[in-house]
Structure 1
Amino acid sequence: MDDQAELRFNRAAASVGKARAFVRAALPAAQFRERIDDITLCVSELATNAVRHGSPAGHLFLVRVSVNESLLRIEVHDAGESRPVLRVPADDDLTGRGLVLVDSLADDWGTGPRDGLGKVVWVEFKVPEPAAPWDQ
């Protein structure tokens, strides 16, 4: 059975922190304690991209969190048509590292079309196996 939550956010810099807080609140904390920083950093990067590059002015972006027995999936939907591209920034570039971080921290990520205008960018994290009683 999947647990799912979603929320729409304004296209504003302040929405990035709100998206992080939403995802943290939607997660079963005990399951993801060891990866919560990785997860919230990925949310920050995807939400920032939606605000800066994805959603045209006046549009909202949507964050959806789905968890089942084996997988956490976070999707960021926006109305922008351009797909993000993993770049290799130069050492002195001031931007362009967001997807590099996502690629290194998430178990998987990608992009796809969505119903209506725009795209979805998603990240996935495997649900950790429960610790054996003797490991606790």
Structure 2
Amino acid sequence: MGLARGHLREALAGWGLSALEDPACLVLSELLTNTAKHGTTPAGDAIQTRFVRQRGGLRVEVRDGSSEWPHRLTPTPEALSGRGLGIVEELSDRWGCWQRGGCGKTVWAELSLPDRGLSHG
């Protein structure tokens, strides 16, 4: 997971999107954790990450070999897990999943740079 976050940080710095580093790394970590816990990946089919620069932000993608789609849970306050996709939902503009060609899926989240210079109030 640390290697993937390092690659994401490098990409963000190169694209001038370092302002997204903290939320993007947290989103990536949550997607990877969800995949590691719930996704099944056949032998030879590794979990893959991809980062796509978009106008004013980026899309983080995590691919695995499982055809089971993620779903957001509503954990109890004392639950020790089940908050990952809620965190992804909170930090991203939108997120979703699409079926991969062959088998598996890609779970993605899009994040935008915060508005600058806007006055609220």
Check whether TM > 0.5: yes
Structure 1 residue 28 displacement after superposition: 3.2
- 1:40 aligned to which of 18, 25, 31: 25
Kindly state the Cα deviation for residue 68 of structure 1 after the two structures are TM-superposed: 3.1
Q: Is 1:54 aligned to residue 43 of structure 2?
A: no
Cα distance in structure 2, aligned partners of 1:30 and 1:67: 7
Alpha-carbon contact 1:109-1:121 (below 8 Å) kept: yes
Match of 1:66 in 2: 52
Conserved 8 A contact 2:31-2:62: yes
Structure 2, gaps ≥5 residues long = none
Aligned ranges for residues 2-41 of structure 1 at < 5 Å? 16-28=1-13, 31-41=16-26
- Between the two proteins, the alignment pairs up a number of residues equal to 116
C-alpha contact (below 8 Å) 2:96/2:108 kept by paired residues: yes
Preserved contact between residue 54 and residue 82 of structure 1 (Cα < 8 Å): yes
For residues 20 and 113 of structure 1, the distance between their equivalents in structure 2, rounded to whole angstroms, comes to 24
Q: Which residue of 1 aligns with 2:87?
A: 101
Given the alignment, which residue of 75, 91, 103 partners 2:77? 91
Percent identity, aligned pairs only, is 35
CA RMSD across the alignment: 2.0
The unaligned stretches of length 5 or more in structure 1 are 1-15
User: Does the C-alpha gap of structure 1 residues 22 and 55 become closer, same or farther in structure 2, counting only changes over 3 Å?
Assistant: farther
TM superposition score normalised by structure 2: 0.84
What's the offset of the Cα at 1:30? 7.1
Report the CA distance between 1:31 and its aligned residue.
Answer: 3.3
Could you tell me the TM-score, scaled by structure 1's length? 0.75
Which residue does 2:66 correspond to in 1?
80
Q: CA deviation at 1:101?
A: 0.5
